[in-house]
Amino acid sequence: MTSPKLKLAVFGHPIAHSLSPRIHGMFADALGMEVDYARIDCPSGRLAATLGQFVDDGGTGCNLTVPLKAEGLRLVSSSSQAAREAGACNTLVRQGRRWHAENTDGAGLVADLARLGLDPAGRRVLIVGAGGAVAGVVGPLLDRNPARLCVVNRDGEKAEQLIQRFERPGVEMDAAALADGPRTGGFDLLIQGTSLGHQGECPPIDPGWMAADAVGYDLNYGEAFEPFRAWCEQAGLACHSGLGMLIEQAALAFELFTGTRPETASVHEQLAARISASAR
């Protein structure tokens, strides 16, 4: 007798562009699992009702994307430390009659950095941006014990408030307004965490803040990555998009949904080729 098909979904608004169904489908196919993973359009303020219908239809797990990550955390009965620190969740798992919230974004980023040979341990990390995307990755980055982590943001006070939420002994942490820049430079890992790429823009980053062998990483991918990629090319920095982070955070979510951790190497290869082809 075959196992019942798992009913999963990603909720967001807009949602038609999401690669999550394709990624989770690839994981399921590789593992011989039956998974029904749908895109569900859900504007802000409608998540509770939409989740209720999803459960009535047999749903047992879902991912959340913009603009629902903070709203989701307010609706659950329990949550992980990563979700609480971030103030947002991207994964909900049904436990009995209740929802449990997780945030796999930061762990997904750390996993992809390790895949790229960029383990944050001992590195001097500069993060640009202080919004929800950055809040989701700061904790796991700090757990890797970087030598220093600095957040710069257009609103320096928001950057300061963000780092005050995350205390890790032994890690030097500071914040600054983007216009002023960090008090000292020499950063060897630059993480671009703003949404400006979606408007075809890159934040005003001073290449002088970076070490000669620094590497850039954008939490965005696809067209939204292109402005930062162009900046890195002009500044002489190697760089990577957030596609790998998307895949790795999905693998962690898939494990929460199914109890099985999927292999990701082939998914990286196939989706990178697809994104590259669509950009031509």
Q: Give catalytic residue positions.
A: 69
- Of 91, 109, 87, 110, the closest CA to residue 101 belongs to 91
- C-alpha 127 chain-centroid distance: 13
DSSP 128-177: E--SHHHHHHHHHHHHT--SEEEEEESSHHHHHHHHHT---TT-EEEEEE
Contact predicate 41/17, CB 8 Å: no
Give the CA distances from residue 35 to residues 29, 64, 257, in Å, rounded to whole numbers and listed in that order.
9, 18, 10
Which residues have C-beta within 8 Å of that of residue 260, sequence separation ≥ 6?
A: 31, 33, 254
Task: Please state, in angstroms and rounded to a whole number, the distance separating the CA atoms of residues 123 and 190.
Answer: 10
Beta strands 61-64 and 6-12 are: parallel
